Amino acid sequence: MSDSSFEPKIVAFVCNWCTYTGADLAGTSRMKYQSNVRMIRLPCTGRIDPMFIIKAFESGADGVLVSGCHPGDCHYTAGNYHARRRWILFRQLLKFVGIDESRVFFSWVSASEGKKWVDVINEVTDTVRSKGPFTNYQKLNKEFTING
């Protein structure tokens, strides 16, 4: 279902201490990557409420990326472990509201991994582009509104 003119909108929730700094390194190193991602910086992946992800899709995102410090490197000790555990439960919620869970991506990118950030963004963008636009959430929203 790919449309050659389709440019996916991807929202990336990243932690301040590792992934954001890694993305900054990619920028200051003048590495090139696809420009489809809008980053939202949070203190830690443990701070990412699953509703942020639902809200991103509701607002028109075609894919969502969550990225933070590698396991064991979280600046708040265990925030990324909490995020990973939360994801296991969150997958059930995604199915329930009709969001294809394969549109949500997770990665660990450290402050020194600018190249990895570039690779993750390019891979996520290509994957979402091949899936086509995400429209299910809007359809569900419309059904709920019409049927009360």
Indicate the length of the chain as a whole number: 148
- Of 107 and 137, the one with the shorter C-beta distance to ligand FES is 107
Q: How far is the CB of 105 from ligand FES (least distance, A)?
A: 15
CA dist 35 to 8, 47, 113, 121, Å? 10, 25, 18, 9
- Binding mask of the shown chain, residues 49 to 88, with x at each position contacting ligand FES by CB under 6 A: -------------------xx----xxx--xx--------
22 binds ligand FES (CB under 6 A): no
- Of 9 and 75, the one with the shorter C-beta distance to ligand FES is 75
102 touches 131 (CB < 8 A): yes
Report the distance separating Cα 100 and Cα 38, nearest Å. 20
Could you say which of 10, 15, 23, 61 contacts ligand FES (CB under 6 A)? 15
Report the distance separating Cα 83 and Cα 105, nearest Å. 13
Q: Which residues bind ligand FES (CB under 6 A)?
A: 15, 17-18, 44-46, 68-69, 74-76, 79-80
